[in-house]
Structure formats: structure tokens, C-alpha cells
A and B are shown apart, each in its own frame.
Chain A
Amino acid sequence: MSITLQDAISLITLEADMLDHGDFHDWLKLYTPEGRYVVPIDPDVEDFEKVLNYAYDDAEMREKRVVRLLSGRSISAAPPARTVRLLSRYRMLESSDTHCTLRCAQMLQELRQGRVHDYAANLNYRLEMTEDGLKIALKVVRLLISTEALTAVSYIL
């Protein structure tokens, strides 16, 4: 049976909830060992390895990112930014019993040092069915303003 849209939504909204509430260690477990978390700059690029991105994280870099955010040794993350994100406009693009790809919209609001920033993004996911259930094999955060000047983002989009 193909992976259903409802199963996919359950996983990625769980991810959103964990990121907004700082459950970063649990967040790491949502990914496959080969999984990638990518925040590209170029809106059209697919071959992320060959170009400069804001983030191109394999398992090792994701773990380092989490350690950094929780360490208290990064002044941009201590105190941490607070975020609220909403996911919506889900569409399954392709689905089988082993994997699926879907995309959705994300609206995120960040509060840090008394300042509010808004980031709209298209999220593209590739999910894979594993022995431990459905996992994220690829998450691509395509920020609406990726080619504009950003401000520091010391959290996980």
C-alpha cells in the first residue's frame, strides 16, 4: 500500500512541533542515516552538493547543529530564538509503499532580542519507509527570500 498523505503529514507536522519546542535530540531521530537537511540559496537548484547553500547537512552536521544550539556556548542561540511555524497546502507528488515525495508551505515567525522576523518557505520532502517507520530522507527549505539578504538564523528552519 502506498504511503498516505495523512501518514506523511503526521511525520512532518511532528517535526515542526519538535523544532518549535526545542526537542532537537528527538528531531535527529526523524531522519534516515543518509538523510539530508538542505536550505538552498538558488531557487532552481537540485544538485545541492555542487553549489553554495545556507545549510547542507548530513547526519554529522545535523548533530553538530543541535549540539551548538543546546550548548549555551553560542551567543546567537543563548537565549535561543523562539519560533512558531505553520505548515499547510500539502500535496503528495509521488507515493509508493517504500517512499514518497510531497511539498507544502511553511509560515514561520521568529522572536529574538525583541525583534520579529517572518520567513515564508516551500518545503519539499522525500520520506522513506524503514524498519522503524516513516523517516525523512530529504528536507529542502526553499525560502521565499533566499536570494535576498537574510538576518542571522540561529535555529532550524
Chain B
Amino acid sequence: MVWMVLFGGVPHQEGYTGQLDKSKLPLISLKVEEYNGLIFASFDKDIMSLDEWLGRAKPWIDLFMKQGAGWPVKTMGEHKFTFPGNWKIQLENTTDAYHFPIVHKSFLDSVDAETQNTFDFVEGAGFVEDLGHGHSVMVMIPELVDLDEGLDAPIPERFAELAAELAKDYPDEQVRKIVRAVGGSGFNLNLFPNLACSMAFFRVLRPLSVTETEIRHIAIGMDGGPDIANEVRLRLHEHFQGPMGFGTPDDAEAWDRVQRGSLAGKDISILLNRGLGHEARREDGNLFSDVSAETGMRAAYRQWLIAMSEEAGA
């Protein structure tokens, strides 16, 4: 009978002669909570509140949502793809700055010198910070953390045409705000276990098996904002993301090679100690290190270990 639920009802209920109590046979419900437009769900009814779970990651979600430039953030379609590897290598990826100049050489070749300079962050002033509960943030471009600030900064050349178009309909300050939002945030927020607010898009990962993972790269835009600005965002997303982008296929290739490398043996070491030597603690207790540190990976694996060893409440 169970599958009948899918068709919206039980046929010929008299056949149960009073022995069918539908109130005792509901669909499985999840615990669902929302924060700043992001909806989270858990099968665990006893899990801590979302507020507590997100904790110190919340201000970073708020910063990420500034990409609405005053409008609400909306989703604008997604790229969905799989790669033949374990989900944790993708979990690491969002908090890994040092792969960028190596794995994404061909993407960097395809953008102008000013943009190359913006993405040259590995030896810059950025940082990685452990936000608790496995969450972390990697700040790559400190000037682009708060999109409401620095509005008097020069408009990058690649957005000059968009800015000129927008200037026909919007005052200068709003043009600058929209253009800054279009360029995306300067950080990746990694929310354990499967969501990343990654510079200018959402990344959702789903393990299909030990050796296969599905990834969604969800494009975002300004809900009610100018079409021309949202279209520039779409073109930027297509340029890097997705199975035919100039970035994602090279990431997927790297994950594939890591997966194959992991078959070399059970006793090989996996180094996660990058940046440990100069890791320090902020006043609020957060561990942090330089932008290329593996502080975020260590945060995620600590939480993963808690989940896998069922040390509830730890």
C-alpha cells in the first residue's frame, strides 16, 4: 500500500474496514528551519536549533547575501554534474586556496590582467578561519568581504560596459553597488556538511556512493534587479562553473586523480597540516591561519569524526 501514497491517496478505503488509521501513516517529516533565505532540513528531530548549529557562521551568510545589492537574492538555474570520487574531496575544495593558481591556469589565461591580479590571492592578506561545527570561511579577497563598503573603489575594466549601461537608469552610488555585487563576494563559506556559499554561487554536494558524488552549482542573482546585471552574472557563472565551464572540469579532473591516488594503499599519509605552524586564535576563540592554510579542512574533518563516532553533543 505504501507506494500508493505517491498517487495522492488510498484507493477503495472501505477495503480496510476501519483498520486504516492514516494519521499513523504520514510521510516522513524533517526538522526544517530557515536562516536568511537558506532552508536547512534534518532527519534528526533532536538536533540543536539551526541558530545554534550555524553559530559563528551566520554573519558570513549575511555578508554573502549582500550580493542582492539591496534586492533579495534569487537562484537563476544550476549546473549539475557528477565526478567519480568521494564527497569529502569536494568538501575540502571549497576551503582550498592553494589549488587555484595551479588547477585553474587555463581559466586565469582567459581573463584580463586586472582579473588575474584579483585572483592572485594565495600569498595575499586573506585568511582561513574555523567557525565551529565544521564550518569555516576562506577569505581570498579581503576588499570584497563587505560589498556595501568600498563603493568608491574604481570599477574593474571588465565591468565598465555594464556600469555605463546601468548609469542610464541608476544613480552613481547604486551603479557601484550593483557592479560590486555582480563581481561576487571575496570569500568561500563552507557549511558542514554539504553547502558552500562560494564567492558568487551556492555549491550543494550529495554523496551518491563512496566513490561517486553529485554537485550542484546554483547561480544567484538580484530578484528585481536589472536584467543586464543578472545576465552578466549568468555569463560569469557559465565561464567558470559547470561541466563545460573553464574551471569546474579541471577541478573534477583533480578530484578524480585524488580518488585514484587514494587507492595506492591504506597506510599512506594524507597531510592536513598546512598552516598549522602559524595558526592562532582570535579573541572570540576562532582558530585562523593564512589563506592557503588547511584550517578549514581540519575544522570539517573534526566535525566529520564527531558524526562518524557518534559522540553526540560533542
Q: A52-B79, A54-B242, A153-B244 are in contact. Are A74 and B106 (CB under 8 A)?
A: yes
| Chain B interface size range | 35 or more
Inter-chain contact B103/A75, CB cutoff 8 Å: yes
Q: Does B281 contact A (CB under 8 A)?
A: no
Stretch at the interface among B114-122, B161-169, B176-184, B232-240: B232-240
Q: Does A138 contact B (CB under 8 A)?
A: no
Inter-chain contact B231/A50, CB cutoff 8 Å: yes
Instruction: State which of A55, A74, A151 has its C-beta within 8 Å of the C-beta of B250.
Output: A74
Q: Which residues of A contact B106 (CB under 8 A)?
A: 68, 71, 73-74, 77
From A49, which residue of chain B is reached at the shortest CB distance?
B231
Inter-chain contact A41/B109, CB cutoff 8 Å: no
If A53-B238, A75-B254, A153-B244 are given as contacts, then 17 extra A-B residue pairs at C-beta distance below 8 Å, sorted by A number, are A41-B79, A42-B77, A50-B231, A51-B77, A52-B79, A52-B238, A55-B238, A65-B246, A68-B109, A75-B253, A76-B249, A77-B106, A150-B80, A151-B83, A152-B83, A152-B248, A152-B253
Q: Which residues of B contact A74 (CB under 8 A)?
A: 105-106, 246, 249-250
Q: Does A90 contact B (CB under 8 A)?
A: no
From B218, which residue of chain A is reached at the shortest CB distance?
A52
Q: Does B33 contact A (CB under 8 A)?
A: no
Inter-chain contact A52/B83, CB cutoff 8 Å: no
Q: Does A149 contact B (CB under 8 A)?
A: yes
How far is it, in angstroms, between the C-alpha of A129 and the C-alpha of B243 when the chains are bound? 33
Q: Does A3 contact B (CB under 8 A)?
A: no
Within 8 A of B (CB), among A73-109: 73-77
Inter-chain contact A149/B238, CB cutoff 8 Å: no
Interface size on A, residues (CB 8 A): 32
Q: Which residues of A contact B248 (CB under 8 A)?
A: 152
Q: Which residues of A contact B237 (CB under 8 A)?
A: 52
Inter-chain contact A153/B77, CB cutoff 8 Å: no
Q: Does B219 contact A (CB under 8 A)?
A: yes
Q: Does A34 contact B (CB under 8 A)?
A: no
How far is it, in angstroms, between the C-alpha of A52 and the C-alpha of B218 when the chains are bound? 10
Q: Which residues of B contact A10 (CB under 8 A)?
A: none
Q: Does B98 contact A (CB under 8 A)?
A: no
Nearest 6 Cβ contacts at the A-B interface: A52-B77, A152-B249, A74-B106, A76-B249, A76-B253, A150-B243
Inter-chain contact B234/A152, CB cutoff 8 Å: no
Within 8 A of A (CB), among B77-119: 77-84, 103, 105-107, 109-110
Inter-chain contact A76/B250, CB cutoff 8 Å: yes
From A147, which residue of chain B is reached at the shortest CB distance?
B80
How far is it, in angstroms, between the C-alpha of A74 and the C-alpha of B106 when the chains are bound? 5
Q: Taking the nearest CB of chain B, how far is it from the CB of A40, in angstroms?
A: 10
How far is it, in angstroms, between the C-alpha of A51 and the C-alpha of B291 when the chains are bound? 34
How far is it, in angstroms, between the C-alpha of A150 and the C-alpha of B216 when the chains are bound? 11
Q: Taking the nearest CB of chain B, how far is it from the CB of A42, in angstroms?
A: 8
How far is it, in angstroms, between the C-alpha of A61 and the C-alpha of B80 when the chains are bound? 22
Q: Which residues of B contact A151 (CB under 8 A)?
A: 81-83, 243, 252
Instruction: State which of A42, A115, A149, A154 has its C-beta within 8 Å of the C-beta of B81.
Output: A149
Q: Which residues of A contact B250 (CB under 8 A)?
A: 74-76, 154
Instruction: State which of B84, B109, B253, B254 has its C-beta within 8 Å of the C-beta of A67.
Output: B109
How far is it, in angstroms, between the C-alpha of A135 and the C-alpha of B52 when the chains are bound? 60
From A64, which residue of chain B is reached at the shortest CB distance?
B110
Inter-chain contact A68/B238, CB cutoff 8 Å: no
